[in-house]
Amino acid sequence: MSLIVTGTLGIDTIETPQGGAKRVPGGSAAYFAAAGSIQTPVRLVGAVGDDWPVEHRSLLESFQGVDLAGLEQRAGSRTFAWGGKYLDNMNIRETTFTELGVLEEAPPNVPDSFRDSTFVFLANSHPSVQSAFLDQLPERQLTVMDTMDLWINIANEELHALLARIDGVMINDSEAELLTGITNPYSAGEKILDLGPGFVIIKKGEHGAVLVHRDGTAVIPAYPADDAQVVDPTGAGDSFAGGLMAYVARTGSHDFEALHAALAWGTVTASYTLESFGLDGLKGLTESRLMERVELLRAAARIG
């Protein structure tokens, strides 16, 4: 079973109430791949410019499971750069700047060595780009997509065409509400199933996540974390997706029971990302350290 992701690699500049970080590695594909690689190899497809810091490459390479054969570094192009500022309770995020760079160019191709990938995660991107990526993966068994408010608003038709092609959607609660007009995540999830996918995972940040699947419903709280353990929420959602998809790819099953079990692996993976800026919280992690937190979460969230 081989897991592939396409999405952004970015240079992030972040401010939080507690501090900040300048020009650290970020982007959805970087977080997903680093997070997922703790459990299983992850193939990364993305593009950067010639300004991409060599330390960023070194850091990504230090995650030994990340396969960078699909990383295109383009001469004369600029890397995607993003600035974000978190307010008070870390739930409000303002974008301070966005430099699209390579994201305005043609999307990267899937290298031949990746074409037999079976588990596919489409991080947030234009739905037409996501759809074209799928066309290059004839052996896919499970495709899960993310999206964002921008595409719901300006590419709604392409988004609906893509929803009819994929197996699962992983979005946050505000995106689910925008897509369906429904606040309640269980009801919003049911409405999204009507659009084609077999399951929807709605991420609620500090409140956990909900899985609405044709075969059942599941819910998980976030990993208990106090103020001292929440340094930077950037990339937590992509890390959740990486940990979850890696569990599914590692175990090889993707039915309701497997996806339910995978929620915990996504949750604990994200809990490490929160603890530092950039990818630092994921550095040096092992599957057994993820398992430790799965056990702690199991104890704290035991029912009855």
Residues that bind a second copy (CB under 8 A): 88-90, 182-184, 186-187, 190, 204, 206-208, 210, 216-222, 224-228, 230, 260-261, 264-265, 294, 297-298, 300-304
**Closest distance of CB 235 from a second copy, Å:** 19
* Nearest-approach distance from CB 167 to a second copy, in angstroms: 21
The answer to whether the CB of 194 falls within 8 A of the CB of 169 is: no
Identify which of residues 23 and 207 has a Cβ nearer to a second copy in the complex: 207
**Cα gap 61→67, rounded to integer Å:** 8
Is the CB of residue 56 less than 8 Å from the CB of residue 25?
A: yes
Q: Please list, in sequence order, all residues whose beta carbon lies within 8 angstroms of the beta carbon of residue 181, skipping any fewer than 6 positions away.
A: none
Cα distance between residue 93 and residue 75, in whole Å:
32
Which tokens in the block code for residue 218?
A: 């599941």
**Least distance to a second copy from the beta carbon of 66, Å?**
25
CB of 231 to a second copy, least distance (A): 12
Q: Apex CA 25: angle with CA 21 and CA 29, to 5°?
A: 135
Strands 92-99 and 80-87: antiparallel
SS3 162: helix
Distance between CA atoms of residues 247 and 190, nearest Å: 24
CA dist., res. 278 & res. 238, Å (int): 12
Nearer to a second copy, 118 or 184 (CB): 184
**Minimum CB separation from a second copy for residue 191, in Å?**
10
The distance of closest approach from Cβ of residue 5 to a second copy in the complex, given in angstroms and rounded to an integer, is 23
